[in-house]
Amino acid sequence: MADQAFNPFEMAQRQFDGVAEKLGLDSGTREFLRVPLREFHFSIPVRMDNGSTRVFRGFRVQHNDSRGPAKGGIRFHPHETIDTVRALATWMTWKTAVVDIPLGGGKGGVICDPRELSEKEQEQICRGFIRQIAKNIGPLQDVPAPDVMTNKQHMLWMMDEYEHIMGAQFPGVITGKPVGMGGSLGRTEATGYGVVYTTREALKEIGIDMKGATVSIQGSGNVAQYTLDLLEQSGARVCAISCWDNKDKKAYTYASDAGIQFAQLLASVDKFGTIDPAKAKEYGWKQLDGSAWIEQPVTVLVPAAQENMINADNVEKIKDSVKLIAEGANGPTTPEADAVIQRKKIFLVPDFLCNAGGVTCSYFEQVQNNMNYYWERDEVLTKLDQKMTNAFKAVSAMAKERNVYMRDAAYMISIKRVADACRLRGWV
């Protein structure tokens, strides 16, 4: 999804190889875990509103299901690639393991741009995706969810198509559904809130008060919005936020020393997380170049847009004021940038721990679907906070015990859990 030379799957494999070496993992288990268990590639024909037929390519990758059904989102993006989906499926395996929920790792994608498709065309893509994959997903096999540029409505169309095919109610086939239609309260804000729960714990560790801490966020979509929401409620100030403007085909950063407020952000973004420049002007936010988010003199950086956003070209631009990077996005930091972050002694909450709030709440959604009994929002968020805090503490303890980078510590916990499950099952 980023530049041609960047391959997220190679990056995911490099991260894995480094930790497998540190863990002394045997060669068979390494070979088994560095690639997905299975993947599906298919075509989805769509009758366009103008009467023509267009064919969209779809993918579903199940990286590992030794600890439970595969779990992971479906993304709609014009630059989606199978290697991006493979990388994200792999990270889902480590993510479900690090928060210790009984699920594996999967991911899906369709090469399409929903910003340029009508609702009817998008519905056909959703239903077509399920028709191709229905036999290979399900509450006991693989459970999709929303991700970049997919939403509750897409999930509901997908669930409906699956139920048509199976001839029965299956709310647990997919998560991220609307509340009242099998969705869980708290799911919309779960990923962003999870970013803040781990940020809170990290700030405690490095002795910085959340109240008054300043933050710059890359992205203005679901994760960024709810990260900002809880940061604001916790007394921190978000001084800059960025987005991709699809009309201008470039990114912008919006900065405000007084702080960007959640209510203003919600009033200024469209459903794809693009900030309306006129609204930004009305609120007095300064419009800067898209790359400016990383150069802000703040305490915390939150990349919450997409992969490969902190890399060898821009990592040195991070100011000395930055003490923490909380990775809301998946794969935002390249291994080259990781080396610099370690040298600068910036504390890092790695992606598959930091943004695990979404999948944890998706797991709660499935539990509620299975019981056909739904919890109050507070109950969901309290359970989410407990899971995220426990996971953070375990990773941080491992980092101290083994004297390793937080990303490596998170990998050590996850890889060990997954490798043990594969071994116990007799797979390796």
Site residues (vs ligand NAD, CB under 6 A):
147-149, 191, 218-224, 242-244, 251, 273-274, 290, 304-306, 328-330, 355, 358
Q: Which helix (H) or strand (E) holds 315?
A: none
Least distance from ligand NAD to the Cβ atom of residue 58, Å: 17
Judged by beta carbon, residue 56 or residue 244, the one nearer ligand NAD is 244
Cα→Cα distances 20→124, 271, 285, 334, Å: 42, 40, 46, 18
> Which among 181, 168, 172, 101 has a CA at the least distance from the CA of 138?
172
Least distance from ligand NAD to the Cβ atom of residue 403, Å: 28
Judged by beta carbon, residue 149 or residue 230, the one nearer ligand NAD is 149
Sign of CA dihedral 342, 344, 347, 350: negative
Least distance from ligand NAD to the Cβ atom of residue 330, Å: 4
Catalytic residue flag (residue 107): yes
Question: What is the C-alpha separation between 238 and 201, in angstroms, rounded?
Answer: 18
Question: What is the C-alpha separation between 300 and 253, in angstroms, rounded?
Answer: 16
Judged by beta carbon, residue 144 or residue 328, the one nearer ligand NAD is 328
The answer for residues whose C-beta is within 8 angstroms of residue 90's C-beta and 6 or more apart is 9, 12, 13, 16, 36, 63, 105
**Are the C-beta atoms of 173 and 157 separated by less than 8 Å?**
no
DSSP character for 54? E
Judged by beta carbon, residue 89 or residue 419, the one nearer ligand NAD is 89
The answer for residues whose C-beta is within 8 angstroms of residue 243's C-beta and 6 or more apart is 219, 220, 221, 251, 252, 254, 269, 273, 274, 275, 305
Tell me the sheet residues that pair with 47: 53
Judged by beta carbon, residue 40 or residue 272, the one nearer ligand NAD is 272
With H, G, I as helix, E, B as strand and everything else as coil, classify residue 142. strand
Least distance from ligand NAD to the Cβ atom of residue 109, Å: 11
Question: What is the C-alpha separation between 99 and 363, in angstroms, rounded?
Answer: 11
Judged by beta carbon, residue 347 or residue 352, the one nearer ligand NAD is 352
DSSP character for 112? -
> Which among 158, 284, 293 has a CA at the least distance from the CA of 219?
293
Question: What is the C-alpha separation between 359 and 379, in angstroms, rounded?
Answer: 16
The active-site residue, picked from 22, 71, 95, 107, is 107
Cα→Cα distances 351→120, 201, 329, 348, Å: 34, 15, 6, 9
**Chain residue at closest Cβ approach to ligand NAD:** 221
Least distance from ligand NAD to the Cβ atom of residue 269, Å: 7
Least distance from ligand NAD to the Cβ atom of residue 345, Å: 25
Judged by beta carbon, residue 20 or residue 359, the one nearer ligand NAD is 359
Question: What is the C-alpha separation between 210 and 3, in angstroms, rounded?
Answer: 35
Judged by beta carbon, residue 387 or residue 422, the one nearer ligand NAD is 387
Judged by beta carbon, residue 62 or residue 220, the one nearer ligand NAD is 220
**Are the C-beta atoms of 361 and 187 separated by less than 8 Å?**
yes
Angle of helix 187-205 relative to helix 357-371, nearest 10 degrees, comes to 130
Sign of CA dihedral 114, 78, 59, 99: negative
Least distance from ligand NAD to the Cβ atom of residue 224, Å: 6
Q: Which active-site residues does the annotation give?
A: 107
